[in-house]
Amino acid sequence: MRLRLFAVAAALALPLMAIGQTVSAVDEIRAARRASNDALKRHDIEAFGASLDPELVVVTGGGTFVPSRQAYMDRLAKDFTNPDGFRFERTADTVDFGETGVLAAEHGHWVGFNRNGSRGIGGTYLAMWRKTDKGWKIRSELFVLLNCFDKAACEQYRKPS
């Protein structure tokens, strides 16, 4: 009887433990995203880079391929000094986990704010997170520009490639 009760208790506890691990991982990813957004707000490129995997690749909202972590950081650092540059903020809507436990997909929306604080552009994104020995890191991001809140801000995207 005791053995049977133990087996039932263990069978019920295992899924709850897995849920706890997933909730913890979601919290870690959301915290890393908040820290990344805060770093962008402060123009702190080194703190921003803390969330990025060394093998990062990015496709920007306008479709430009950024082949490396350093190229992405350089691009954002340059944008910090541009008086017409945007301050980007990403907001996660969902975070899903792969069965391996080392990959996660963050789906969300992003906004590029003008220097005066108004929304300039925005859209959706998908980020691949990879669990590393240093925590969850962004391995790749795909941004899609869908919203032109400020028509002048979108002119560069309206030009045919």
Render pLDDT for 108-145 as a digit per residue (tens, 0 to 9). Answer: 999 999 989 999 999 999 999 999 999 999 999 999 99
Three-state secondary structure of the chain: CHHHHHHHHHHHHHHHHHHHHHHHHHHHHHHHHHHHHHHHHHCCHHHHHCCEEEEEEEECCCCCEECCHHHHHHHHHHHHHCCCCCEEEEEEEEEEECCCCCEEEEEEEEEEECCCCCEEEEEEEEEEEEEECCEEEEEEEEEEEEEECCHHHHHHHHCCC
**Tens-place pLDDT, residues 5-38:** 444 444 444 343 344 445 699 999 999 999 999 9
The CATH code of the domain at 2-158 is: 3.10.450.50
pTM: 0.82
Sketch the domain layout of the chain as residue ranges. Answer: 2-158
What's the pLDDT tens digit per position in 78-107?
999 998 889 999 999 999 999 999 999 999
